[in-house]
């Protein structure tokens, strides 16, 4: 069903046309506690009337039934004819849908491998312990694992150093390999398809680097592992079956950090840490599945977004973590949200006629306050922002208190603004923000946070009636790059548009 045909969409349009700036005193407290996270949506422009209409819209669009269909493993990714069952990866084994049963056994193997590397019983071919892991993967095979490791690794958590290589720019691999001892290095090649250009080329270069230094191809078995659905391609690359951990087509790349793709987190934290991460995600799922829409955090955040983007003209969504260790959260959420809900056709293929997801961007506080917050306070474009705070943060306490004081001050300024006789100093306010508070940055709270956003994306996809689980739009650029690569190497006739032809000529004559 097209959302704009529902009675509630029409009701919301009327409410939006009547709504001026909500006075701060009109805002009723709207807070929810879920899976250990505390959320304050009071600063959203959600009057009780608007909220009631949004909840009714969710009902009209079939959200409660869609939630069950997701967890039950129904085929909800219609364009690829498959379920989206990442929730099964963090579910208790006895509640896993049949199709996902194999995942529990694979998880045990991944955790055993991580413990063996951490404990030194997995050794390189010459008997040396592994000190460095080079993780090669891109997109969903990179962003979640790197976010998790960078957020949770601490000096006392031990484990090998982990280097992430995603970009095909040789500088990425070169920087990661600089100074590494091949005898002590383990390569983890992560690619659901095992055909992604960047990962394939980086993995081949890594193998070359390794063999040039270690000589013996038999050593690959102790220094390369792979995570993929494409077991044949991994084998063709030279990685023995015993070193290949499966992925499944029912887990989308950007939803895969819970699968063997999350192996860097297991390497960084060990078995217990990874299990706690899964438990955090599971707790959020239980909240999502078991809570009425009115008190359901993913649902409320999704509905606040729909109100902002579709009725209040909000054109972008900022993600503002006030936690240094969460600095990669905006990058991760950009893929999760924009690859999922950057769509312009409905499930049945017809064109959408309302806006879907706007651009998501962000960066860590407080740094952003001294860079782009000027535009947020006084620019002409409207935006919405999520502030992510940690109650018990890194010491010293004075730093942490200043950090949180700044986060609260920024969202307060965005809400209240400030009058001034001097127009250059005036701040308008009235900007919708949500504040999420993690009790502390732990595996469980990060798991809950990631699962929260996954389910926000899901709810918005249901309301827009789009497929949040495919990403066909990325294919065109991949296809176009192939002939351009040939032409940059001077190997075939130029047949591009004028601009591209000119740039190819410029680049090839500069070589
Ligand atoms: O190009 C987009 C994409 O397909 C993402 O959806 C995916 O996470 C990424 O590339 C990496 O894909 P793979 O894991 O198959 O290498």
- Cross-strand partners of 164: 135
- Per-residue confidence (pLDDT) for residue 496, from 0 to 100: 78
* CA distances to 36, 137, 196, 253, 320 from 228, in Å: 33, 11, 11, 10, 33
Ligand 1 touching residue 254 (CB < 6 A): yes
Q: What mean pLDDT, rounded, does the chain reach?
A: 95
Please state the CATH superfamily assignment of the domain spanning residues 86-267 in this structure.
Answer: Glucose-6-phosphate isomerase like protein; domain 1 (3.40.50.10490)
- For the stretch 379-402, pLDDT in tens is 999 999 999 999 999 999 999 999
Q: Which listed residue (370, 421, 424, 475) is catalytic?
A: 370
Tokens read off for 286:
């239980």
Task: Tell me, in angstroms, the distance from the centre of ligand 1 to residue 150's CA.
Answer: 21
- For the stretch 28-62, pLDDT in tens is 899 999 999 999 999 998 999 999 999 999 999 99
Verify whether residue 135 is a known catalytic residue: no
- Cross-strand partners of 227: 190, 245
What is the best residue among 77, 146, 193 to mutate for testing ligand 1's pocket, by most ligand atoms within 8 Å of CB?
Answer: 193
Percent of the chain's residues with pLDDT above 90: 91
- Per-residue confidence (pLDDT) for residue 170, from 0 to 100: 98
Rounded CA separation 464/342 (Å): 11
**Band of pLDDT at residue 490, cut at 50, 70 and 90:** confident
Rounded CA separation 388/438 (Å): 8
Verify whether residue 18 is a known catalytic residue: no
Q: If residue 164 lies in a helix (H) or strand (E), which one and from where to where?
A: strand 161-165
SS3 at position 362: strand
**Band of pLDDT at residue 98, cut at 50, 70 and 90:** confident
Verify whether residue 478 is a known catalytic residue: yes
Ligand 1 touching residue 474 (CB < 6 A): yes
Q: Which atom of ligand 1 is nearest to the CA of 474?
A: 1
Any idea where the domains of the chain sit in the sequence?
86-267, 474-509
CB 250 within 8 A of CB 85: yes
Tokens read off for 273:
């840490």
Compute the average pLDDT of residues 170-195: 96
Ligand 1, atom 3: closest residue by C-alpha:
139
SS3 at position 449: helix
């Amino acid at each position: 069903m097209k959302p704009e045909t529902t009675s509630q969409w029409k009701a919301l349009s009327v409410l939006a046309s009547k709504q001026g700036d909500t006075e701060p005193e009109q805002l009723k407290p709207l807070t929810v506690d879920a899976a250990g996270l505390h959320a304050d949506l009071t600063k959203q422009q959600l009057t009780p009337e608007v909220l009631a209409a949004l909840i009714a819209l969710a009902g009209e669009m079939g959200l409660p039934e869609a939630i069950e269909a997701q967890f039950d493993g129904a085929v909800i990714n219609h364009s690829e004819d498959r379920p989206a069952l990442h929730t099964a990866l963090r579910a208790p084994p006895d509640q896993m849908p049949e199709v996902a049963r194999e995942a529990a056994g694979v998880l045990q193997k991944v955790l055993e491998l991580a413990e063996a590397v951490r404990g030194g019983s997995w050794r390189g071919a010459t008997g040396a312990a592994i000190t460095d892991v080079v993780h090669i993967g891109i997109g969903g095979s990179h962003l979640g694992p790197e976010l998790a490791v960078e957020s949770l690794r601490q000096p006392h958590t031990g484990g090998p150093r982990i280097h992430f290589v995603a970009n095909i720019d040789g500088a990425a691999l070169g920087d990661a390999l600089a100074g590494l001892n091949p005898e002590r290095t383990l390569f983890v090649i992560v690619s659901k398809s095992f055909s992604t250009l960047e990962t394939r080329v980086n993995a081949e270069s890594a193998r070359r680097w390794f063999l040039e230094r270690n000589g013996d191809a038999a050593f690959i078995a102790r220094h390369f592992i792979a995570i993929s659905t494409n077991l044949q391609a991994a084998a063709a690359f030279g990685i023995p079956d015993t070193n290949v951990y499966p992925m499944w087509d029912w887990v989308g790349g950007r939803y895969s950090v819970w699968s063997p793709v999350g192996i860097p987190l297991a390497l960084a934290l060990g078995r217990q840490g990874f299990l706690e991460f899964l438990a955090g995600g599971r707790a959020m799922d239980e909240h999502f599945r078991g809570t009425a829409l009115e008190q359901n955090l993913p649902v409320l955040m999704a509905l606040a977004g729909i109100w902002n983007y579709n009725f209040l003209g909000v054109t972008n969504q900022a993600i503002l973590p006030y936690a240094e260790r969460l600095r990669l959260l905006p990058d991760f959420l950009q893929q999760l949200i924009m690859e999922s809900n950057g769509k312009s056709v409905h499930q049945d293929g017809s064109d959408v006629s309302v806006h879907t997801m706007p651009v998501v961007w962000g960066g860590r506080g407080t740094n952003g306050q001294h860079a782009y917050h000027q535009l947020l306070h006084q620019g002409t474009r409207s935006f919405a922002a999520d502030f992510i705070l940690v109650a018990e943060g890194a010491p010293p306490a004075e730093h942490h208190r200043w950090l949180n004081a700044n986060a609260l001050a920024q969202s307060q300024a965005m809400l209240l603004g400030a009058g001034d006789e001097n127009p250059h100093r005036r701040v308008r306010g009235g900007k919708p923000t949500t504040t999420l508070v993690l009790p502390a940055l732990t595996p469980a709270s990060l798991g809950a946070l990631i699962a929260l956003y996954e389910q926000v994306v899901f709810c918005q996809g249901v309301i827009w009636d789009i497929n949040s689980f495919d990403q066909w739009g990325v294919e065109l650029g991949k296809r176009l790059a192939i002939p351009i690569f040939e032409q940059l190497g001077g190997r075939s006739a130029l047949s591009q548009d004028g601009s591209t032809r000119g740039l190819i000529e410029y680049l090839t004559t500069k070589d």
